[in-house]
Amino acid sequence: GAVFNWQDPLASNTLLTDEELAIADTAERYCQERLLPRVLLPPPRIEAYRDENYDREILSEMGELGLLGANLQGYGCAGASTVAAGLITRAVERVDSGYRSGMSVQSSLVMGGIHEFGTTEQKEKFLEPMARGKLLGAFGLTEPNHGSDPGSMETTARQHPTKSGYFLLSGSKTWITNSPIADVLMVWAKLAETGKIRGFLVERKDCPPGTLETPPIKNKNGLRASITGMIQLDNCPVPAANMFPDVEGLRGPFSCLNSARYGISLGVMGALEDCISRARTYALERRQFKNNPLAKYQLVQKKLADAATDAAYGTLAAIQVGRLKDEGKATPEMISMIKRQNCDRALHNARVLQEIFGGNAVSDEYGIGRHVANLFVTQTYEGQSDIHSLILGRAITGVQAFA
Ligand code: TGC
Ligand code: FAD
C-alpha cells in the first residue's frame, strides 16, 4: 500500500524520469558529502558562512560532475531536462542558497545567455571551459541607481574613437554575484548611438589596468557563502566580436533570467526542506513541560504541517512549469508565479520554523537562521516578489503598474 513520506508528501518523485532521479541522486550526494562540511564545520570552524569565504574550487568540482549548464545541449553540457537542472539547484540550495547562487550565475545566466544569444565563436570559446568550471562567469545587470528597473540603466558602450572593431564600456554594476573572481563578465549596456541595450562578454584578462575593477561587497548579513561585488568600467575596451550579435533590449537579460528564476523556484524548496528536516529533528529531541518533546505540541505540529504543505505544492508547481518549458509552452508569467510563490513561502515558513529552536535559533550552529537570512535574498534578487506581483497583475488585468 501507499505510505506517506513526510520528505516528499505528494510523491513528486513519481513524476521524475530515471535519468532525473539519477542526476538528483548524484547532486544530493555531492552536496551532502562535499558542500555541507564546508558551509558548516563543527565549531570553532564554520567556514564559508561565518568567514564569508567562497571556495572557487566548488565550481570546478561541480563541473567535473556535469552539474553546470546541465540542461544545455552540446559544448560538454549534459543536455538534461529543465527539471533535472532544477533538481540540481534544489540539492545545492538544501545546503546553502549562496552555493546555489554561484552556480545559477554560471549555469543559467552566463552559460544560458551565451548558448541562446552567442555567436558560434563565442559558444566555442566560452561554453566548454565554463561547463568544466575552469572559466568563471558573472552577470551584470543591476546598477547602483537601477535595480528593479534595469531598463533605465546608465552603463554605456560607445565606439572606440581610434581602434576600429572595439567598444568602450563605462558605468557601474552592483550586487553582482561572483564578480570579484569572475573571468568573464556578461555586462548589459546601452549603445551610445542608439540607446538600445546590448550584451557584452568582458574578459578580465584582456582589460588594461584601471579599466575594470570588481571590488567585493563585504559584511553581508545573508548569502555569506557566496561572493558578491561591483563591476566598475572606465572606458574599458571590448572587441565587437564579444557583443551578442542579434539580441537587443531587455529581452536579452530577461531571457537569461527566465532560466535562473526557474532554478531558484526549485532551489528554495531545497532550503525549505532542510529547515523542515532540522526543525523536525529538534522538535523530537528538545523537551519542555513534563518531559514532552516539542513535537508533541499541536502548535509545533501545525508549523511543520504548513511548511511541508508549501514545500510539496511548490515542488509540484515547479515540475509542471519545467515540463512546459521543455515543450516550449512556458510563459515568463508562469515563471514569475513560481519564483514569487516559492521564495515567499520558503521565507515565511523558515521564519516560523525558526521559532521552534527558541534561543538556539540565534546561534549559527543550528543552520536555521542562515537559511532565513539567505531566503530573504532569494525573495529580493532576480525580481523582488512585489515586482513579480506586478508582472502577474499586468498579465491578469492588461494594465501595467510599474511606473
Ligand atoms: P517590459 O516592457 O516588460 O519588457 C521589455 C522587453 O523585455 C521583454 N521581456 C522579456 N523577454 C523574455 N523573458 C522575460 N521574462 C521578459 N520580460 C520582459 C519584453 O517582451 C520586452 O521586449 P521588446 O522586444 O518588446 O522590447 O520592460 P519593463 O522595463 O517595463 O520591465 C519591468 C519589469 C519589472 C518587468 C522588469 O524590469 C523586471 O523584471 N525587473 C526585475 C529586475 C530583475 O529581475 N533583475 C535581476 C538582476 S540579475 C540577478 O538578480 C541575479 S542574482 C543571481 C544569483 O545570485 O543567483
Ligand atoms: P529597488 O529596485 O530599489 O527596490 C526596493 C524595493 O522597492 C523592493 O521591495 C521593490 O519590490 C520595491 N519596488 C521597486 N519598484 C517598485 C514598483 N514600481 N512598485 C512597487 N514596489 C516597487 N543583480 C545582477 O544583475 N546580477 C547579480 O549577480 C546579482 N546578484 C545579487 C546578489 C545579492 C546577494 C543581492 C542582494 C542582489 C543581487 N543582484 C544581482 C541585484 C538584485 O537583482 C537587485 O537587488 C534586485 O533586482 C532589486 O533591486 P534593488 O536592490 O535596486 O531594489
Spatial separation of the C-alpha atoms in residues 268 and 100, rounded to whole Å = 9
Quickly count: other Cβ atoms within 10 Å of residue 285's Cβ: 10
Q: Does residue 227's CB lie within 6 angstroms of at least one atom of ligand 2?
A: no
> Would you give per-residue pLDDT tens digits along the chain (403 residues)?
899 999 999 999 999 999 999 999 999 999 999 999 888 765 555 578 888 888 899 999 999 999 999 999 999 999 999 999 999 999 999 999 999 999 999 999 999 999 999 999 999 999 999 999 999 999 999 999 999 999 999 999 999 999 999 999 999 999 999 999 999 999 999 999 999 999 999 999 999 999 999 999 999 999 999 999 999 999 999 999 999 999 999 999 999 999 999 999 999 999 999 999 999 999 999 999 999 999 999 999 999 999 999 999 999 999 999 999 999 999 999 999 999 999 999 999 999 999 999 999 999 889 999 999 999 999 999 999 999 999 999 999 999 999 8
Three-state secondary structure call for residue 11: coil
Place of cell 532565513: 372
Q: How far is the CA of 380 from the centre of ligand 2 (A)?
A: 6
List of long-range contacts for 186-189, beta carbons under 8 Å, 24+ apart? 186/109, 186/110, 186/113, 186/114, 186/137, 186/138, 186/139, 186/140, 186/256, 187/140, 187/155, 187/231, 187/233, 188/140, 188/141, 188/150, 188/153, 188/155, 188/252, 188/253, 189/153, 189/155, 189/156, 189/157
DSSP state of 41: P
Q: What angle do CA 211, 212, 213 make, to 5 degrees?
A: 125
What pLDDT score was predicted for residue 253?
98
Q: Does residue 85's CB lie within 6 angstroms of at least one atom of ligand 2?
A: no
Q: Does residue 374's CB lie within 6 angstroms of at least one atom of ligand 2?
A: no
Q: Residue 106: CB partners within 8 Å, gap ≥ 6?
A: 59, 68, 69, 130, 133, 136, 137, 178
Q: Which ligand is nearest to the CA of 175?
A: 2
Q: Which ligand is nearest to the CA of 388?
A: 1
Q: How far is the CA of 148 from the centre of ligand 2 (A)?
A: 5
Quickly count: other Cβ atoms within 10 Å of residue 1's Cβ: 2
Q: Does residue 385's CB lie within 6 angstroms of at least one atom of ligand 2?
A: no
> Which of ligand 2's atoms lies nearest the C-alpha of 140?
25
Q: Residue 52: CB partners within 8 Å, gap ≥ 6?
A: 218, 219, 220, 224, 225, 227
Pocket perturbation via mutation, ligand 2, pick of 152, 377, 380, 385 by most ligand atoms within 8 A of CB: 380
pLDDT tens string 364-387: 889 999 999 999 999 999 999 999
Q: ipTM exceeding 0.95? A: yes
What pLDDT score was predicted for residue 48?
82
What pLDDT score was predicted for residue 39?
86
Q: How far is the CA of 253 from the centre of ligand 1 (A)?
A: 7
Pocket perturbation via mutation, ligand 1, pick of 103, 254, 339, 382 by most ligand atoms within 8 A of CB: 254
Q: Does residue 186's CB lie within 6 angstroms of at least one atom of ligand 2?
A: no
Catalytic residue ranges: 382
Q: Does residue 175's CB lie within 6 angstroms of at least one atom of ligand 2?
A: yes
Spatial separation of the C-alpha atoms in residues 217 and 220, rounded to whole Å = 7
Q: How far is the CA of 148 from the centre of ligand 1 (A)?
A: 9
> Which of ligand 2's atoms lies nearest the C-alpha of 146?
52
**Ligand 1, atom 5: closest residue by C-alpha:** 250
- Is 366 exposed, middle or buried (CB count within 10 Å of its CB: 0-12, 13-18, 19+)? middle
Alpha carbon distances (Å) from 223 to 101, 114, 172, 394:
8, 26, 22, 31
Q: Strands 184-191 and 212-213, how do they pair?
A: unpaired
Q: Does residue 148's CB lie within 6 angstroms of at least one atom of ligand 2?
A: yes
**Ligand 1, atom 14: closest residue by C-alpha:** 254
Q: How far is the CA of 233 from the centre of ligand 2 (A)?
A: 21
Strand partners, 287: 293
What pLDDT score was predicted for residue 41?
65
What pLDDT score was predicted for residue 49?
84
**Ligand 1, atom 30: closest residue by C-alpha:** 402
C-alpha cell at 124: 566555442
Residues with CB under 6 A from ligand 1: 101, 104-105, 139, 141-142, 148-151, 177, 249-251, 254-255, 257-258, 260, 332, 381-383, 387, 391, 402
Nearest CA among 207, 165, 200, 167 for reference residue 186: 200
Q: How far is the CA of 340 from the centre of ligand 2 (A)?
A: 14
